[in-house]
Amino acid sequence: HIIRETSSFTWLAPAGSSMPYQQWIVPKRHIAEMGAFEDQEIAQLAALLQAASRAMLTLGDSYNWIFMNFARRGAAHCYVELFPRMTALGGFELGTGTYVEIVDPALAAQKLKTAAGA
């Protein structure tokens, strides 16, 4: 469910998303923390975040970016998680930790790709 790729990143809608239009921006090279990005990677990530923001604003007025860093954990892989604020978690999700997805990730990827002009 790839939305866009650069030489350094893949922006995608994960197949097992926990909320509508959830996305990840994942570096192609293994890196545990974003502080180690090179200048060209920072520029590419910034451009993808701008495109993702534009795309999410076509869905609603608010969204979140979560920067997942894993300092001193070489086996982990950093990424950015993004999602528009469209739904509230219900008792089932809060009580079980299991999420009910209401939007097919393949359709979400296509809609975000179109909205981002990819």
What is the DSSP pairing of strand 63-68 with strand 23-27? unpaired
| Each residue's pLDDT tens digit, 16-37 | 888 889 999 999 999 999 999 9
Quick one: residue 34, left, alpha or beta (phi over 0 = left, psi -120 to 50 = alpha)? alpha
Q: Which two tokens mark 100? A: 């009910």
| Each residue's pLDDT tens digit, 56-90 | 999 989 899 999 998 877 788 999 999 888 877 77
What is the Cα–Cα distance from 110 to 2, expressed in whole angstroms? 9
Around Cβ 118, how many Cβ atoms within 10 Å?
Answer: 15
What is the Cα–Cα distance from 22 to 111, expressed in whole angstroms? 12
Quick check: pTM over 0.75? yes
Task: Give the pLDDT confidence score for residue 14 in this predicted structure.
Answer: 92
Radius of gyration of the chain (CA): 15
Task: Give the pLDDT confidence score for residue 39 in this predicted structure.
Answer: 97
Mean pLDDT of 83-111: 80
Residue 92's pLDDT band (boundaries 50, 70, 90)? confident
